[in-house]
Amino acid sequence: MNIMDFNVKKLAADAGTFLSRAVQFTEEKLGQAEKTELDAHLENLLSKAECTKIWTEKIMKQTEVLLQPNPNARIEEFVYEKLDRKAPSRINNPELLGQYMIDAGTEFGPGTAYGNALIKCGETQKRIGTADRELIQTSALNFLTPLRNFIEGDYKTIAKERKLLQNKRLDLDAAKTRLKKAKAAETRNSQLNSARLEGDNIMVNFSYVLNFLHVKWLKIWAEEVTKSEQELRITQSEFDRQAEITRLLLEGISSTHAHHLRCLNDFVEAQMTYYAQCYQYMLDLQKQLGSFPSNYLSNNNQTSLTPVPSVLPNAIGSSAVASTSGLAITSPSNLSDLKECSGSRKARVLYDYDAANSTELSLLADEVITVFSVVGMDSDWLMGERGNQKGKVPITYLELLN
């Protein structure tokens, strides 16, 4: 029973406090009550914290869009994060494109120019996809997580203490208002019946009654003033203490900025690494694709829209073709000489080649092999030899050495 009484009393006290704050807040908005202003330094810290929160949220959300453009994927990752479960790994766009290119190149034939180029492009796209995945992981760990921790941790604490400071200020101003009203009532009551009444006995007796009530009211208002003054001292002390707590928390925003600066440097470094990797991958791919002769025609016997003179001895063309990376391509005259002679020559491999069957020889870029011609072999192929391994190799993948 006592516990129930205590809960009822506490509930009533809390309701009274809430009502008092609501009245004070409403009167302040209507201009009917005075408002205690915070000092300029504390106001500046509050503004700085609010500004930091707003821009941190904007930067964090836009970074998430940059790293994961798919909104459905972002929603799924958010749900898994809230459920404290690991999101399933999914193939990203560069990896998916790379896989399509590899599958297409394999079906067209790795020995054809287009098929081999598709495979090379697909492998590069998959490398870019891996680099993209590493960028997302690194950025999420070193940049997004600290920003999110500030929004969901530090700033929530600041907002909580700021709200508590606002309530303490309302309590303080309400106490000031009550004290002001009590003093005004006491002044008015003390002036009541200050003049001595004269007249018949009835009026005199009535005057004595009023004086008696006047003394009683003076005591009541004196007690009310004393109570209001004591309440004002308590609320002022609580407000000052809460203002100091809030100020200490807000001064930590400078440390937050320093921490976010380090995280920003990590993010920039992750982006720099990612773009450097992508540039190197594309540079290597450009060199490989640049090794193809511009008039290579042996792609699944497909004909070009431009007629090709029939006097060409093979599909390489009548002159050497330079790659975009400056690598030299073997001239057809040297290849023709090799076809006509019975000896062997050394040749450098221009880029990787995967053997389509057991009669062909797989090649690695920049390795040197021995090549020679065989009577009756297709004009687009030579016989290659590397140690004990021997097989057909496409002549467009080779550069004869002097």
DSSP structure class, residue 286: H
Q: What pLDDT, in 10s, does the model give residues 80-115?
A: 676 777 767 788 899 999 999 999 999 999 888 899
Mean pLDDT across the chain, nearest whole number? 78
Residue ranges of domains in the chain: 20-194+208-291, 345-400
Q: What is the residue whose two structure tokens read 């993209």?
A: 132
Tens digits of residue pLDDT in 285-298: 988 887 554 444 34
pLDDT at 258: 95
Nearest to 312 by CA among 293, 327, 291, 325: 293
Residue 174: predicted pLDDT = 84
Q: pLDDT grade, residue 315 (50/70/90)? A: very low
pLDDT digits (tens, 9 = 90+) for 101-153: 999 999 999 888 899 999 999 999 999 999 999 999 999 999 999 999 999 99
Query: pLDDT-based confidence at 253, cuts 50/70/90?
Result: very high
d(CA 364, CA 350): 8
Q: Check pLDDT > 50 for residue 197.
A: no
| Confidence label for 330 from pLDDT (cuts 50, 70 and 90) | very low
| Separation in Å, CA 218 to CA 23, 175, 223, 224 | 27, 20, 8, 10
DSSP H or E stretch at residue 126? helix 113-139
For the segment 353-375, the average pLDDT, to the nearest whole number, is 89
Contacts of 330 (CB under 8 A, 6+ apart): 320, 347, 395, 398, 399, 400
What residues form DSSP beta bridges with 346? 370
Write the CA distances from 3 to 6, 9, 12, 16, 359, integer angstroms: 5, 10, 14, 20, 94
**Mean pLDDT in residue range 297-316:** 37
pLDDT value for 401: 86
Check for a shared fold between 20-194+208-291 and 345-400: no
| Of 242 and 212, the one with more pLDDT | 242
User: How would residue 351 be classed by pLDDT, with cut points 50, 70 and 90?
Assistant: confident
**CATH, range 345-400:** 2.30.30.40
In the block, residue with structure tokens 């609580």: 238
Going by CATH, does the domain composed of 20-194+208-291 fall within 1.20.1270.60? yes
Q: What's the confidence (pLDDT) of residue 209?
A: 56
Name which of 50-64, 140-154, 181-195, 197-211 the model is least confident about: 197-211
DSSP codes of every residue in 300-337: TTPPPSS---TT-SSTT-SS----TT------HHHHHH
This model's pTM is above 0.75? no
Distance CA 283, CA 93 (A): 20
> What tokens appear for 136 in the block?
């997302």
Query: What's the CA gap between 284 and 289, in Å, rounded?
Result: 9
- Structural element, H or E, at residue 390: strand 389-394
The pLDDT, as a whole number, for residue 327 is: 35
